[in-house]
């Protein structure tokens, strides 16, 4: 059964924000966009968690969205991160992304101030009524401090342009409940859960590891969609150590930035309070990348 935003099914990549000498490196950002287009990625998600949005100024946040849209030039979709724990700020960013030409927006649940379920609903309703682009509800209670309950997401699905969920609760039961009750396009927010989520009706992933090996994630998705479950499982097992390291060695995006540096595609620079991997963590990551065949 087709879901509400089938055009976003497949691989979306939560792109890093490259820094050089403390500033956003727009030349490298453009290179990352070209790399993803060549790989056949469906959509880019700039300025999310992986894009270090918490440490970007508002002006930088807007400039990264604009630069990504400009570099994409209609050749790949752009789903810009526009969430905030202030509804007014999320509204401003969401309107700005829509006006700039983003194809959709990725809106993380308001974090830290922990709204009630009614507060979550009213927050997304305000955004849905302000713009016409599709909205992806990003539910990641491990970072925000509170789960958007499935009943609330099912209620949000009554709003026409709430069309997607980035599912990062780790709960297949929660995902199953949403999939059974709505036609929302559910995308995995955890690389290692892409295949399990697709097996219950998920339509793809918003990926961190896709910064490194988009073509392999695409191969997993295609294998599953063509009914070749054994091939999909083979890709899942190959990708798993890499996916695990990206989330377990240190907080995202510390490991992916280190990996991008190791393969020569980024400086690996982070902004405080994010700090680099320890020598032991570096060695572990290097081993995983070597085993994978990337080094």
Of the listed 138, 146, 257, 292, which one is catalytic? 138
- Determine which one of 77, 121, 124, 166 is catalytic: 166
What per-residue confidence (pLDDT) applies to 292?
A: 97
| Interval 4-56: pLDDT, tens | 999 999 999 999 999 999 999 999 999 999 999 999 999 999 999 999 999 99
The answer to whether residue 146 scores a pLDDT higher than 90 is yes
C-alpha–C-alpha distance, residues 262 and 290, integer Å:
10
> Do β-strands 43-44 and 135-139 pair in parallel, antiparallel, or remain unpaired?
unpaired
The C-alpha atoms of residue 165 and residue 163 are separated, in whole angstroms, by 7
6-229 to CATH, choices 3.30.70.100, 3.40.50.450, 3.20.20.70, 1.10.3720.10: 3.20.20.70
In the chain, % of residues over pLDDT 70: 100
pLDDT of residue 193 exceeding 90? yes
- The pLDDT tens digits of the residues spanning 206-241 come to 999 999 999 999 999 999 999 999 999 999 999 999
Catalytic residue flag (residue 124): no
Confidence bin at 1 (pLDDT 50/70/90): confident
Cα–Cα distance, 37 to 281 (Å, whole number): 31
User: Is 283's pLDDT higher than 90?
Assistant: yes
The answer to whether 111 is a known catalytic residue is no
**Strand-strand pairing, 19-20 and 10-13:** unpaired
pTM: 0.98
Q: How many residues comprise the chain?
A: 295
Which pLDDT does position 229 carry in this prediction?
A: 98
**What pLDDT, on a 0 to 100 scale, did the predictor assign at position 228?**
98
Q: What are the extents of the domains in the chain?
A: 6-229
> CA dihedral in degrees (46, 48, 54, 55; nearest 10)?
-30
Place of tokens 């570099």: 71
Radius of gyration of the chain (CA): 18
């Amino acid at each position: 059964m087709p879901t509400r935003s089938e055009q976003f099914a497949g691989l979306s990549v939560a792109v890093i924000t490259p820094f050089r000498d403390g500033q956003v490196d727009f030349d490298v950002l453009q290179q990352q966009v070209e790399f993803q287009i060549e790989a056949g990625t469906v959509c880019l998600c700039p300025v999310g968690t992986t894009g270090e949005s918490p440490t970007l100024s508002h002006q930088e946040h807007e400039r990264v969205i604009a630069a990504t849209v400009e570099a994409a030039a209609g050749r790949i979709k752009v789903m810009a991160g526009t969430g905030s724990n202030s509804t007014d700020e999320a509204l401003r960013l969401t309107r700005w992304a829509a006006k700039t030409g983003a194809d959709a927006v990725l809106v993380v649940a308001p974090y830290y101030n922990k709204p009630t379920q009614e507060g979550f609903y009213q927050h997304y309703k305000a955004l849905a009524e302000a713009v016409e682009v599709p909205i992806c509800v990003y539910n990641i209670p491990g970072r925000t401090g509170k789960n958007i309950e499935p009943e609330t997401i099912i209620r949000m699905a009554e709003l026409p342009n709430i069309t997607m969920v980035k599912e990062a609760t780790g709960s297949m039961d929660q995902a199953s409940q949403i999939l059974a009750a709505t036609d929302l396009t559910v995308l995995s927010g955890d690389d290692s859960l892409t295949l399990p989520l697709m097996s219950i009706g998920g339509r793809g992933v918003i990926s961190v590891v896709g910064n490194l090996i988009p073509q392999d994630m695409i191969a997993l998705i295609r294998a599953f969609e063509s009914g070749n479950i054994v091939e999909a499982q083979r890709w899942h097992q190959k990708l798993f150590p890499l996916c695990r390291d990206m989330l377990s060695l240190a907080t995202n995006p510390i490991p992916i930035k280190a990996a991008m540096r190791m393969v020569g595609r980024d400086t690996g620079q982070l902004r405080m309070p994010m700090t680099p991997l320890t020598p032991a963590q570096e060695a572990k990551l290097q081993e995983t990348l070597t085993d994978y065949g990337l080094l």
